[in-house]
Structure 1
Amino acid sequence: MKWNARTITHRGEQRIAVVFQKDELLLYAVKSIPGCRWSQSLKLWHIPDTEENRRMTGLPLEAALQPNEEGLRGLKNLKLWMRSKRYSESTITTYVDATKSFLTFFNDRALNEIGNDDVVQYNNEHILKQGLSASYQNQVVSALKLFFMTVGDRKIDVENIHRPKRAKALPNVLSKDEVKAILEAHSNIKHRAMLSLIYSCGLRCGELLALKPLHIDSKRNIVLLQNAKGKKDRIVPLSPKILELLREYYKSYKPVHYLFEGYVAGAPYSDKSLQSVLRHALFKANITKPVTLHWLRHSYATHLLESGTDLRYIQELLGHSRSKTTEIYTHVSTKSIQQIKSPFDDL
C-alpha cells in the first residue's frame, strides 16, 4: 500500500502515524484497522503501535531511535518550562513529540552544533520525504523555536527558522440536512446531547468534555467556557431546544462533577469515546464523508454566516484571537454563490 508510517507518542500513548495521499480505498483500509483514530491536531490517522501493525506498515520491529542524552535532557527541560508557563498538556505533548523527532534525526550531534541549515535538511529529508503535511511542518517549527529559546549555548538562529508556505485549505462544512441526520442518528439521549451541544454552540471537543453543570446558565441562556484554547474564557448562547434536551439528559444521568461523564462517576467522558459516538452516528445516518467533530464547529460558523450573523460576533463566539481566522468561513458560505446565475443557463 502507498503510505508512509512512523512512530509517534500521542496523548501519552505510543502510536503509528499513517500518512497517505487522498485515496478512498486507502482511507477505507486504514479506518478498518482496529483502534484507528484521526488526530485533529496532527492532521493524520494513527493506529496502535503493535507488532502486527508494524509488520503491516513496514516499520522495524526493534525499538525506535531516541535523541542522545543531551537531547533527552533538553526535552525534559522543555516540558518543565512549558508547564511552568501553564501550556496545556496536549500542546506540551505535541511540541515535545515534534522536537523529539528532530533531535532523533540529529542524535549524533551536540545541540550547539545544530544550525539553521540542519532544519532545512530535516524538512527535506524527513518531513517532505515522509509526505508529512505542511501543518505538521509548522508545528515542528513552532516547537523548535520554543526549544532552542531555552537552550543557552546554541548555533541556531531562532528568528530565522523559516516556515513553510501555508496551504489555503478551506474548512470542511456539512449541510444543515447532514447535520440534522447526524444529530438525530442516536437514540441514546447522552450521545445526542453531546453532539448537539458541539454543533449548537460551536464547541471544540475539549471544551465540551470540560463542561460542568454549573457552566450552563439556564436563566441567561448561555454556556460559560472557562480556560478554553489560549486560556481564554468566553460565553456562547444556549439554544432553548438544547436546554430542554440537556434537562432531559440530566434527569436520566445525574452527572456528579462533569456535565458528561464516562463509566466512572466524576470522571470526564473521554475524547476517544466521543469520537466513537460520532462514528456510529455517521454510520447510522449513512454519511460516508470522513467527518470529524471539528466539522460540526465549522458547520456552526458557516451556517451562522449564511443566516446573516456578523463576522465580528462569529469571531467572538468561536474564541478566535484574529479576525483573519474567522474570515475563512466567507470562502465556504454558499449563500451569495447560489444567487449567481451561470451563463450556461442562457444558452
Structure 2
Amino acid sequence: MEWSAKIIIHHAESKIAVSFEKNAALIDRIKQFKGRYWSSTMKAWLLPDTEENRKHFGLPLVTDLLPNEDGIKALYNYKNWMRSKRYSESTIKTYMEAVKSFLTFFNKKATSDISNQDVIIYNNNYILKNNLSASYQNQIVSAIKLFFITVQDRKIEIESIHRPKRAKVLPNVLSKEEVKKILEAHSNIKHRAMLSLIYSCGLRAGELLALKPYHIDSNRQIILLKNSKGKKDRIAPLSPKILVLLRDYYKDYKPKTYLFEGQTEGKPYDARSLQVILKQALTKAKIDKPVTLHWLRHSYATHLLESGTDIRYIQELLGHSASKTTEIYTHVSTKKIQQIKSPFDDL
C-alpha cells in the first residue's frame, strides 16, 4: 500500500496533502487524524500541518532547530509590527511560521548578514530538496520580503528577491445549465440559499459565512461585504429572485447574529459543512466534476462577461485590486470562441 505526502498551501494555510490509490484500509487510517478532510480539487486528504503529523509522514520538521537569539528577537519584532499594521491573525501565524523556518535554516548567521544569495540557497536546499510546492515557496517569499522591511542595517535587497514562476492556470467555469442544476439540487432552503447567494453575487466562501442580516439591504437591492479580502468593503447587486429566496429563508430560520448560522446560535456556519453541502448538490445534480465553491464565483464573473457586462464593473463586483486579475476571465469566456468557424468545416 503506497502513499505520498507533501506540504502545500491550501486556502492560504499550510497543509499536509496525503494521496494514495483508493484503499479501504488506508482511508480508515487517515480518518483517525484529527482535522483531516478530503479535497476533491487536490485529489488528496488534507491534514493540519503539525510537527506530529510531519513526523508521522516523514516530512521535514520545523522545530528540529530554532532560530538563534538574534532571529528570535527579530521574529518578536516582526509579529508586533504585523499586529500594528492590522494584519489578520491567520496571516500573522502563517508568515511567522514561514520566517521561523527560514531563520532556522540560517541559525548560524546574524539576521542582518543574510543576503539575497541566502534566499536562493534556502529555495534550492530546503524547498526544492524537500519537494515543497511552488505555492508554498511563494508564501515563503512573501513572508521573507515583509520580514526584512522590519530588519535594520540589512544586506538583503527586498525588491531583488525573486518569486517562483507561476503556472498560468485558467479558472474553472460551469455552464449556466450546470449552475442551475447545482442550485436547485437541495430541497433544504438554507442550503439552497447559501449556494445561490455565492453564485448570484460572486462571493468567496468566507464572505458568505461572515454575512450578518443587516448586510442585506433589500430596499436598495444590494449586499454589503465588510472586511473582505484585503480589508476592503464593497457592495454587490442583489437580484429580485435571490431576495425572494432570502426572505423565505429568513422567515423559516430567523438567524440572530450571522445570516447563516450553524447548530450553535450566534456562531457562523462551518466552512467545511458548506463544502459538504456543495458535494451533496453535485451528487444530486449528477455532475461529475471536481467543483469547488470558488467555481461558482468564477462562473458568476464569466457569465457576466458573456452577457456584455464591462470588465471594469466586474472588477469592482469581485473586489479585485488590479484589472489584470479580472482579465483572466476573458480567456475562459466562450461567447467569441464559439463564433469562430473551424477550417475543418470547409473540408
Q: TM-score scaled by structure 2? A: 0.85
RMSD: 3.4
Q: 1:240: how far off? A: 1.1
Q: Is the 8 A contact 1:315 1:326 kept in 2?
A: yes
> Which residue of structure 2 aligns with residue 319 of structure 1?
319
Q: What amino acid does structure 1 have at the position aligned with 2:268?
A: P
Q: Map residues 162-173 of structure 1 onto 2, 5 A cutoff.
A: 162-173=162-173
Instruction: State the secondary structure of the residue aligned to 1:229.
Output: coil
Q: Is the 8 A contact 2:222 2:235 kept in 1?
A: yes
Number of corresponding residues: 339
Structure 1 166/187 Cα, relative in aligned 2: closer, same or farther at 3 Å? Answer: same
Write out per-residue CA displacement over residues 195-236 of structure 1, whole angstroms, 9 at most, x where no aligned residue.
111111001112111111101011111101112112211110
Alignment of 1:1-347 (within 5 A): 1=2, 3-6=4-7, 16-18=15-17, 33-34=30-31, 35-36=36-37, 38=39, 46-48=46-48, 57-59=57-59, 64-70=63-69, 71-347=71-347
Change (3 A) 1:181 1:86: same
In structure 2, list runs of 5 or more residues that go unmatched: none
**SS of match in other structure, 1:152:** coil
For 2:230, what is the secondary structure of its paired residue? helix
Deviations 1:1-25 (A, max 9, x none): 473424999999xx752278xxx95
1:47-106 alpha-carbon deviations (Å, 9 max, x no partner): 14689966873448x884353253344333322211211122332233223223323333
- The 1:113/1:31 distance shift into structure 2, 3 A limit, reads farther
Instruction: Note the alpha carbon deviations across 1:98-119, whole angstroms, 9 max, x for none.
Output: 2233233334433233221111
Aligned residue identity for 2:140: V
Deviation string, structure 1 residues 139-191 (Cα, Å, up to 9, x no partner): 22111011111122433222221122232211111122222222222222211
Shift, 1:256, TM fit: 0.7
Deviations 1:17-53 (A, max 9, x none): 2278xxx958x9999943225599x999621468996
Taking a change above 3 Å as real, the CA distance of residues 47 and 116 of structure 1, as seen in their structure-2 partners, is: same
Q: What is the distance in 2 between the residues matched to 1:263 and 1:314?
A: 35
Are the equivalent residues in 1 in contact too, given 2:134–2:166 (CA < 8 A)?
A: yes
Q: Name the SS of the counterpart of 1:299 in structure 2.
A: helix
**Quick check: 184-193 or 276-285, which moved more?**
276-285
**Could you tell me how far apart the structure 1 residues matched to 2:239 and 2:75 are?**
45
Query: What stretches of structure 1 of length at least 5 have no aligned partner?
Result: none
Q: TM-score, normalised by structure 1?
A: 0.85
More moved, 214-223 vs 175-184: 175-184
Would you say the 8 A contact 1:210–1:258 is kept in 2? Answer: yes
CA distance in 1 between counterparts of 2:143 and 2:40 reads: 18
User: Equivalents in 1 of 2:38, 2:255: separation in Å?
Assistant: 27
**In 1, are the aligned partners of 2:3 and 2:21 still within 8 Å (CA)?**
no
Taking the aligned partners of 1:81 and 1:45, their CA distance within structure 2 comes to 35
Q: By how many angstroms is 1:301 displaced? A: 0.3
Mean CA deviation greater in 2-11 or 117-126: 2-11
Paired with 1:36 and 1:283, the residues of 2 have a C-alpha distance of 18
Cα distance in 1 for partners of 2:76, 2:267 equals: 28
Tell me, yes or no, if the aligned pair for 2:8 and 2:132 is still in contact at 8 Å: no
How far apart, CA to CA, are the structure 1 residues paired with 2:148 and 2:40?
Answer: 26
**Structure 1's 11 and 332: CA in aligned 2 closer, same or farther, altered over 3 A?**
closer
The answer to whether the Cα contact below 8 Å between 2:173 and 2:295 also exists between their aligned partners in 1 is yes
Q: Does 133-142 or 167-176 show the bigger shift? A: 133-142
